Amino acid sequence: MNRYDGFHEFVVARGGALSRTAFLLTGEHHAAEDLVQSALAKAAARWRQIVEYGQPEAYVRRTMINEQISWWRRRPARPMAELPDRPGPDEPHRIVDRLALGEALDTLSPRQRAVLVLRYYEDLSEADTAAVMGCSVGTVKSHTHHALNRLRQTLPLYAEQAGQYADGPAALVAARRRRARRAAVAALAILPLLLTAIWFGVRTPADVPPPVTVPPSVGPLPPLLPRPERPTSVGNLPADRGIGGASLLLEGSSPGLVQLVGGDGGLYHHFVPADQLLNAPTLSPDGRWLTWTTARATMVRDLITTTLRELPPSSGAPFWSPSGGWFLIPATPTRGDLLYRMPDWTAHPLAQAAPERMTWAVLDSGELLRSSLAVSASAAELVLVDPFTETDRKIMVEVAGLLGEGESIKDPGTGDGPAVRIDILMGAGVAALRVIPREPVTTASADVSMIEFSTVDGHVLRRLDLVHDLVAWTLCYRGQDLLWSDGRKLRIRRAGAVTDGVVMPLDRSDAIKPSGCRSTASQV
């Protein structure tokens, strides 16, 4: 088979159509001839492969478009020629129309002009045009929209210069009206922004509350470092230098004694006398801050710079938002919650809430998650409070569809009084309620189940069944991943996953508390 079989017949049959397309792309007869010759020369070199592909004309059209764009980018070297004077049947006003249209088309980019030629001269569909140009359908639509708008804007200008365009006056009036409307719409859009800027400018700094968002300095949570088998440094937590933050806290055998896995890989001891300790030490989510509570103060130790802060005391354990942007000291009988914004430790005292509205957690938005008396076996009403406006909104968590026979999310407890108990773990945008089984747990081998929901609107996401062969307890969320332990390994159930991963092996004597972990079980 000759490599050029069918090429001559193709040029004879489709050469005229290709020449007309080339003229619309270039706007010049000689340039159009050169463009067709260049495209056909490239097609001839690969004619056998093009025929096997099955669409030789589409290939040549695409080659012409690419070649024209390349010429346009090298405009000094682009073939140019004067248009010859050719007689024709056009009347004078049609000549003016053609000249005005030609001038308007010259204002388009090569790709915009190519889209108009393929869509409205070759009558190709948007999909076929996208295939010829090697782009997406959305790109074809965008080029068509911008090209038509450009033509509508430029045609009245050239008509005015010609002076004989039949619709020139009407087109000019319409264009002026469109420009006036656009100017009016832009002014109306800018006016509210100007008024807002003036309003913020005249306000005093004290009147402007900080944004209820995670501070920008809060970064991703650090990876969990395992307990070193052979610590590089073992000793008491130094008071004169930092340890680079910590990722894991191990509770010791005696009350008040904990061990920290520092950012340098060392294992450090920290001891608080048991008679002074009200709440066990915990780590912030980013591992930078170590906190504990005594009868005199809430202590916060910076593990990077060694700064030690003494904040107001509280009988309840303080806690962090999931990403570490907020720190809250629970209310006492004489004051409300104290909310601190990181990283500058700006304090925001809150008014005392009703006893049944105790705070369970702080969201990354700064909102406080509080309890409500509306609790049943399969539903719980929660309250989200804006700490700056003191306004609240309620979310209802309905879990009936994910509970088995006899299961509940309400635990009546074992103590005296009418209080009921709900166990809840807080994450970044998610939280989980513990499922109370039908029969009381009498052995350590009982499985643990949680129902996960969104803290934005209470929408239930999924049920998490944590299956084990020894003992299980949930620890906390890190971001949207749930950490739990089966007694042998620290495990993780990642967001959206159906199986568990292993973070690290554990010694049976380890009572672990990763950074950011705190039990948020509460009574209502």
Asked if residue 457 has pLDDT above 70, the reply is yes
Preceding amide of 84 cis, omega within 30:
no
Q: What's the confidence (pLDDT) of residue 170?
A: 58
pLDDT (tens digit per residue) in 478-491: 888 888 887 778 88
* Alpha-carbon distances, residue 182 vs 186, 189, 309 (angstroms): 6, 11, 58
Sheet holding 326-329, edge to edge: 319-320, 326-329, 338-341, 346-349
Q: What's the confidence (pLDDT) of residue 245?
A: 78
Q: What's the confidence (pLDDT) of residue 206?
A: 43
Q: Where are the alpha helices (DSSP H) in 315-470?
A: none
Write the DSSP assignment of 486-514 as a string of letters. Answer: -SSEEEEE-TT-SS-EEEEE--TT-EEEE
Q: How far is CA 325 from the centre of its chain?
A: 18
Q: How far is CA 336 from the centre of its chain?
A: 34
* Alpha-carbon distances, residue 129 vs 55, 132, 134, 358 (angstroms): 14, 5, 8, 63
For residues 328, 333, 334 and 337, what is the CA-based torsion angle, rounded to 10 degrees? 20
Query: For the chain, what is the mean pLDDT?
Result: 76
Q: What's the confidence (pLDDT) of residue 520?
A: 41
**Cβ pair 248, 226 in contact under 8 A:** yes
Question: By three-state DSSP, how is residue 5 classified?
Answer: coil
Asked if residue 164 has pLDDT above 60, the reply is no
pLDDT (tens digit per residue) in 211-241: 444 343 345 666 666 666 555 556 788 888 8
Q: Which domains does the chain have, with CATH numbers?
A: 7-177 (1.10.10.10), 234-261+273-523 (2.120.10)
Query: Which residues make Cβ contacts (< 8 Å) with residue 313, sequence separation at least 6?
Result: 278, 293, 294, 295, 296, 297, 298, 332
Residue from 109, 7, 106, 95 nearest 59 by CA: 7
Asked if residue 296 has pLDDT above 60, the reply is yes
Q: What's the confidence (pLDDT) of residue 266?
A: 80
Alpha-carbon span 260 to 250, nearest angstrom = 6
The continuous run of DSSP H or E covering 258 comes out as strand 257-262
* Alpha-carbon distances, residue 183 vs 147, 178, 362 (angstroms): 21, 9, 47
Q: What's the confidence (pLDDT) of residue 253?
A: 64
Q: What's the confidence (pLDDT) of residue 100?
A: 67
Asked if residue 359 has pLDDT above 50, the reply is yes
Q: What's the confidence (pLDDT) of residue 311?
A: 93
Q: Where are the alpha helices (DSSP H) in 307-372?
A: none
- Banded pLDDT at 197 (limits 50, 70, 90): low
* Alpha-carbon distances, residue 400 vs 377, 380, 424 (angstroms): 8, 11, 17
Percent of the chain exceeding pLDDT 90 equals: 4
- Banded pLDDT at 204 (limits 50, 70, 90): very low
pLDDT (tens digit per residue) in 21-32: 888 888 778 888
Percent of the chain exceeding pLDDT 70 equals: 74
Determine how many CB atoms are found less than 10 A away from the CB of residue 46: 14
Range 300-306 contact pairs with CB under 8 angstroms and sequence separation of 24 or more: 300/327, 301/237, 302/242, 303/237, 303/242, 303/243, 303/244, 303/245, 303/246, 303/260, 303/262, 303/263, 304/242, 304/244, 304/245, 305/242, 306/238, 306/239, 306/240, 306/241, 306/242
| Of 212 and 193, the one with more pLDDT | 193
Asked if residue 207 has pLDDT above 60, the reply is no
Phi, psi of 214 (to 5 degrees): -70, 130
Question: By three-state DSSP, how is residue 379 classified?
Answer: strand
Residue labelled with tokens 């130790």: 301
Asked if residue 514 has pLDDT above 50, the reply is yes
pTM: 0.56
